[in-house]
A = this chain, B = another copy of it.
Amino acid sequence: MPVGGTPLLPVPYLRRAFGMNNLWVKDDTRNPSGSTKDRASLLVVAKAQEYGCETIATASTGNAATALAAIAATAGVRAVVFVPSTAPVAKLVQMQSYGAVVLPVDGTYDQAFELCLQACREFGWYNRNTALNPFTIEGKKTAALEIAAAIAPDEPDAVLVPTGDGVILGGVAKGFADLKRCRLLRRTPRLVAVQPEGSAAIVNALRSAAKTITPVRGAASVADSLTVETPRNALQCLRAVRASQGAGVTVSDSSIVEAIAELARLTGVFAEPAAAAALAGLRAALEQKLIGRDERVVLLITGTGLKDIPAASRAIKRPKPIPPNLDAVAQRLRNSSARRT
């Protein structure tokens, strides 16, 4: 099952809208199960097979579990996944269709995570948990390798990364650091962590120059994939952002929802809330002068909008049906043009 190798899109209409001539979208919606998490799961499943493990478990807000379920299906191993029972229905149905044992946990993602840790110890399963299994970082770093390869011989100035646990950002940082170590990059780009206002433990720490993380009790956001009380990879993520001279920005749920439609309309990439947060974060980073409009900037779009249709619905007005006649078409178009002007 081919994973990664996703396109880095030049997005001319988004460039025009933002007045940025060097803006790209890394379209990771094109992975097999529709998210960046496939990169990590491919490597973890390969390692599990190398170690002779027949069951692999993970806790997840949804995408990592779906990715594990998909890759496990191609490899003939069993996936046991712990997810908050409030995960989007599309993710739950998708992971179960792949044949995973799905355990929806009546609780938060953080509780699902702890339960998965206990279960792996108790039952001797191979643990894919993010931030705990180092191969998730190694898998996700391939996104950075591909970005660098696509932009070469130029080099990216900044990459905006939607951030929950901080593992995707940690992986991207590792990828760029590896390239620099190999002298394939002169300098690593600034990494900008984008978090929802309601789930911003890492960005809060960046802003207060804290060395540790204060959990966000009752973390909540439309971006389910970024909703976490205690980010599991917080310290490595903080170090990576700081080492890159990067920053953190927070974005409101309404700006995330608007970014879904804006990104789709201007690039043809339909993103889930967590992924569209990268675009909302770009606007915030420009306003805060964290990014210049002339810089080479990449948005990492981490998952497809088809994973959360209810969220995308909030950004659009669903049109009423018309009767099958030409007058109705003409009238609807007049109204549509009137609204545009």
Contacts and interface: CB of A to CB of B under 8 A. Distances in A.
A73 interface: yes
Contact of A329 (B33, B71, B119, B330): B119
Contacts of A321: 85, 104-106
Interface stretch (A175-183, A223-231, A259-267, A281-289): A259-267
A70 interface: yes
A279 interface: no
A114 B260 CA distance: 32
A225 to B, nearest CB: 15
Contact of A30 (B32, B106, B268, B305): B32
Interface string A54-98: 000000000000000011011010001000010001101110111
A235 interface: no
Contacts of A90: 90, 306, 309
Contacts of A332: 101, 103
A11 to B, nearest CB: 8
Contacts of A123: 333
Interface in A92-120: 92-94, 96-99, 101-107, 111-112, 114-115, 118-119
Interface stretch (A1-9, A155-163, A192-200, A211-219): A1-9
A224 to B, nearest CB: 15
A52 interface: no
Contact of A309 (B89, B102, B312, B326): B89
Contact of A73 (B76, B264, B325): B264
A207 interface: no
A96 B329 CA distance: 17
Contacts of A13: 73-74, 76
A85 B323 CA distance: 10
Contacts of A153: none
Interface in A287-341: 304-307, 309, 312-313, 315-316, 318-326, 329-330, 332-333, 336
B326 A99 contact: no
Contacts of A330: 122
A40 B165 CA distance: 40
Interface of A: 1-2, 7, 9, 12-13, 27, 30, 32-34, 70-71, 73-74, 76, 80, 85, 89-90, 92-94, 96-99, 101-107, 111-112, 114-115, 118-119, 122-123, 260-261, 264-270, 304-307, 309, 312-313, 315-316, 318-326, 329-330, 332-333, 336
Closest 9 CB pairs between A and B?
A306-B306, A99-B265, A85-B321, A74-B268, A97-B264, A73-B268, A111-B324, A106-B321, A107-B324
